[in-house]
Structure 1
Amino acid sequence: MKRVQVSVFLMLSLHVMSMYAAQELPQNLQQNRQTMIDDAVKNYPCLTHGFDWTQLYSEHSRDNLKKAYKLIDEGVDVNVKNEYNNTPLHNAIWCNNKEMVSKLLVVGADVNIQNGKSETPLHCAARYSITEIVKMLLDLNADINIQDQRGRTPLHRGVWSNNTEIVKILIAAGADVNIQYQDKFGKNPLHYAVWRNNTEIVKMLIAAGADLNIQNKFGKTAEQEATTQEMRAIFAQAVQERQAKFNVQSMA
């Protein structure tokens, strides 16, 4: 049988499909299951990871999750990387498989391991707006300010995803609001919040101490990139409040 690598998420999908297939074409069930696996691995690379699940294919798919857990419990390397340097934890997050994420974390998956783009699991959870997994990773002391190969932190990813709740969680956990994105644009989280026109996130970043004077690589501050009257008003108020605070401190 062809050796392929498949995520538990795929197995769960196959479980549902195979139940229907078994009712109509029992004699071709195994062949159909293998075809579905091959097609999924080919067309959805986010499902593949470093576990070799070949030994599970000959069994009925309803037992796959239990057997996957058994492999983990028996000491399978949960930090193994695939050709893209993604680990099972990265891929479980991309597939939004909270049950598998929890299992991997319990058995010692590295919460700060980086893939081929230097993204950690926290980058991925913030990028795909999976609030519950973000909390799980932070509870295990995931590095909140670690940068990927382009300088992006999980906060950049949360802002880019336009997820107010995740941004709030990351800021509360100590995310640095002033790290600049080191690509050709050089934007910090505040720039991206303005680009997303998310006034709530802009207010949160400013309240957390975002530097209003940081310029991107085009020489523009986030305020200068604001395009709506409401957004400009937020910055005008922030500048006024900070100036007033500075004046009070100067007089003390």
Structure 2
Amino acid sequence: MQVNSLMTIEAKKKYEFLESISAIMDSHFKYFKLGYDLLSQLEPYIHQVLTYAQQSKEQSKIEQDRFAQRIQEFRTQSELDSQQASAKADPSDVGGNHVYRAIPRKNVEANSVSTADKEVTKQGYLLKRSASLRADWKRRFFVLDNHGSLYYYRNTGNKSAKSQHYYSGLGEHSSGVFGRFRTRHNRSASQGSLDCNMIDLRTSLIKLDAEDTDLRLCFRIISPQKTYTLQAENGADRMDWVNKITAAITIRLNSHFLQQSPARYLDKKNTSSGPATENLTLNQKEDYNQRLNVGDDVLTILREIPGNNTCAECNAPDPDWASLNLGVLMCIECSGVHRNLGVHISKVRSLTLDVKVWEPTILDLFRNLGNGYCNSVWEELLHHLDDDSEKGSTDTLASVSKPSSEDWFTLKEKYINGKYLEKALVVKDEREANSTASSRIWEAVQSRNIRDIYRLIVKADANIINTKFDDITDLDVYHHHHVDAPDEVKKRHDPNACQRIKNSNEARNCLQGCSLLHVACQSGDPILLELLLQFGADINMRDYHGRTPLHHCIASGNNAFAKVLLRRGARPSIEDGGGLSVLERAMEMGAITDEELFLLLAECQ
């Protein structure tokens, strides 16, 4: 009997344990499944909140930087306003520098405005690294005016009796703008004067670092005469100085350009292709020229382009974000999706925050495109719903329909991914071979047809942007050779040995191995160059003679394009078939008169 009871207990243990385990697992499964069902309904809201949080984070960072900048400006203003006014003194010229005695701030500003219409853009203290062997740091007062002039002041320690008498008479009632300099030296046997030094920004570059990587909050102003290493009090102050000095350099360099007459300026602009500058009346030409002046409202300019008054993806009104390479404007919500595509697909920038991006060339590129034209390429299938030839694509259209501004974020994300990643709405001619597309884009680049180039890049394979002349020609029409000796091969690749270049003295006459970017550099059209660079053209591709697009710019004397390529990552150290770098080729042609170009070439060597 006892044995039977034990056997019954053992049997119950087996199935009761399994029943308990399975019941527990079933309960857990139902619990988590219910939670999943509830949370899945919140998925669109979660994505919206994440996007809003990211945008709020960026906006908060911008506001913090602005707040820190205002605090710094307030501190500087307080220090200056706390000083009392002193009488003006006549400036004298000492050793090439303008030397001033302390001058009251109000008198300085009144005098500068009345004589030269100048205003102080930024002023404050920076630490300046001396050029002596000790390389010690000294505090200097810097002033940047709206004419792009940068000054800094220091005490010279002049021991003249006249200075002593002059300052002793002022010590009791005023100390002026730079009174703190005199106050510090009141105990010495003599009084010092203020040495005012001006940095010529027209031939200067600015870099966000120091030669010593351990130094923080530093930036450098590099001029042909000297390199100034400066240190700010905080990151916001450093960025403010860098941005305003960069703007001042641009103003100084473009001062002559901005003073040109509208008719002369428009004659230059009309050389580039596209509908932006064709068939304009005199009033329209003047209006077009005025829009390119510094301080123009980028929002107003870009929204006047056809289709740019609404978002390219969801038709939301008043878009304030843009994709530089795609040429479209979008709302802030769709810009978050574009960011997730990656910069190789879409380079997203703000129309209001990223003010340094919107150069005249970028604005001209957008004028030639616009949401209307770009969507006619990217959404061509949507415009052919009633076309019988497109009936086979109705399934694709049903799965990818254009959302509205009121739709969920997930719907917009699905549409944008299908539009740009899968190119689901782009009409592709399957019968067109790659060689045909290469020939057509080559012809479009040579004719500088911006819209045709854009359409061919979108519709064709990604590698079409790096199409070479050899891809559209079957034979070596320029260099027939049958000798394989190393010396002969090297000689053939030397551009100086090319008969076509020799006979015409122009690099453009030998196109073998040239890419679309080479041709764009030869064309002199900045909009064409910008379009190819935005779509990722290989900036260092070499032709048959080993020349990069930068070599072609230098050979043709197009310094403006050469500087654009250098700022975008072109390597001047690459040697051509003759074994010479870009700098060596430039020096071979004579003295480099463009100092900025010389500095860029020398730095990148």
User: Normalization by structure 2: what TM-score?
Assistant: 0.21
With normalisation by structure 1, the TM-score equals 0.47
Larger % of helix: which? 1
Structure with the greater relative contact order (CA < 8 A, sep ≥ 6): 1 or 2? Answer: 1
